Amino acid sequence: MTTTLITNIGSLVTNDPALGEGPLGLVRNAALVLEDEKVSWVGPATAAPAADQAVDAAGRAVIPGFVDSHSHLVFAGDRTAEFNARMSGQPYKAGGIRTTVAATRAASDAELSANVAKYMWEALRQGTTTFETKSGYGLTVEDEARALRIASEHTDEVTYLGAHIVSPDYADDPAAYVKLVTGEMLDACAPYARWVDVFCEKGAFDGDQARAILKAGMAKGLQARVHANQLTYGPGVQLAVELDAASADHCTHLTNADIDALAQGNTVATLLPGAEFSTRAEWPDARRLLDVGVTVALSTDCNPGSSFTSSMPFCIALAVRDMLMTPDEALWSATAGGAAALRRTDVGHLNVGARADLTILDAPSHVHLAYRPGVPMIAEVWRKGVRAV
């Protein structure tokens, strides 16, 4: 057993209101003790107990590790040309996914695994200590199962997204593809996944198809999450609440009924501002959700097509600038909100018993994540009680 004291913390975000100011449970002049993988003590630096080793935070801020609850990292290839064309005036369409499907199918296991490792390391260096990732660029039984097996070698938060788009191989018979996704493909994929997801959108899957796909996954023991209401209004958000999905992701186009459903249910609204940024789309209305008490998570949606960023600090800055979230709300949504979207209670906060996942910022306050956008702010990242960056 090893204990580590992190002391002289100028401003500590605990996300436990019982420990400090406001919803972030902010403690000034704080200290933390890590014991093996967990936090064993939190309080004022002047009262900190002795430990085997000590780290001097030198007045800087400490925050919980980011929980990125939505990414698509099992892919190969590149869509620079598509991004360049879009930024030159062409609209984003769901079909661009097919380009990545072809490249992913052609890639070796080693290439795909190296890609996942590369982007997870990139994210870790930016303070992300919990990472969800998905399949969805294979779209055959073998390629989807392979993607999930590879993802499961890198993270516990693995999502089966065979229903990303209708496979190009089934373009003339979408019903047969839904049958595959809910049958043979699900059987091959379920052992590697915790979650089942569907892109419920015009050009992808409609409400009835999405319900069938999610229910089939749930019958196999997977929990639901939904790509909902990204490009257009649609049934995705209300379906997510109806099925008690952990999260409805995107939530860019919401009716009053969608907002009411989220406010009354247990489904987190996960906002992905990197996607709006990278497609020049209109921003989700975070204020409308927050003001009626919906739990909001922020995530990167890291994928090669519509949001090729692994940076939670960048998403925080966008959320504050363009989605009118306060810096405190954005920080909470990127940590505790992400944990809620993954139904995790061990991460996203820093109180006694929490997993010792934290970041020391090169700044006196978490507000600097939005105040100084694009500036490297991550000084140290600790994961499971061990310094990782």
Catalog residues that contact Zn ion under the rule CB under 5 A: 301
- Which C-beta is closer to Zn ion: that of 16 or that of 301? 301
**For residues 222 and 220, what is the distance between their CA atoms, to the nearest angstrom?**
6
- Is residue 62 within 8 A of residue 256, CB to CB? The reply is no
Instruction: Identify the residue whose tokens are 């949001």.
Output: 307
Q: Which amino acid is at 119?
A: Y
Using Cβ positions, the residue closest to Zn ion within the complex turns out to be 301
Smallest gap, in angstroms, from Cβ of residue 301 to Zn ion? 5
The H or E element spanning position 6 is strand 3-12
- Which C-beta is closer to Zn ion: that of 157 or that of 301? 301
Would the annotation count 306 as a binding residue?
Answer: yes
How are beta strands 195-200 and 226-228 bridged, if at all?
Answer: parallel
Would the annotation count 368 as a binding residue?
Answer: no
Smallest gap, in angstroms, from Cβ of residue 385 to Zn ion? 31
Smallest gap, in angstroms, from Cβ of residue 71 to Zn ion? 8
- How far CA 70 is from CA of 120, 161, 301, in Å, comes to 12, 12, 5
Handedness of CA 302, 330, 204, 240 (dihedral sign): positive
**For residues 367 and 61, what is the distance between their CA atoms, to the nearest angstrom?**
10
Indicate the length of the chain as a whole number: 389
- Which C-beta is closer to Zn ion: that of 301 or that of 380? 301
Would the annotation count 349 as a binding residue?
Answer: no
Would the annotation count 72 as a binding residue?
Answer: yes
Smallest gap, in angstroms, from Cβ of residue 2 to Zn ion? 38
- Which C-beta is closer to Zn ion: that of 40 or that of 104? 104
What DSSP state is assigned to residue 343?
T
- Which C-beta is closer to Zn ion: that of 132 or that of 301? 301
Would the annotation count 227 as a binding residue?
Answer: yes
Would the annotation count 53 as a binding residue?
Answer: no
List, as residue ranges, the binding site for Fe(3+).
Answer: 70, 72, 227, 301
List, as residue ranges, the binding site for N-formimidoyl-L-glutamate.
Answer: 137, 303, 305
List, as residue ranges, the binding site for Zn(2+).
Answer: 70, 72, 227, 301
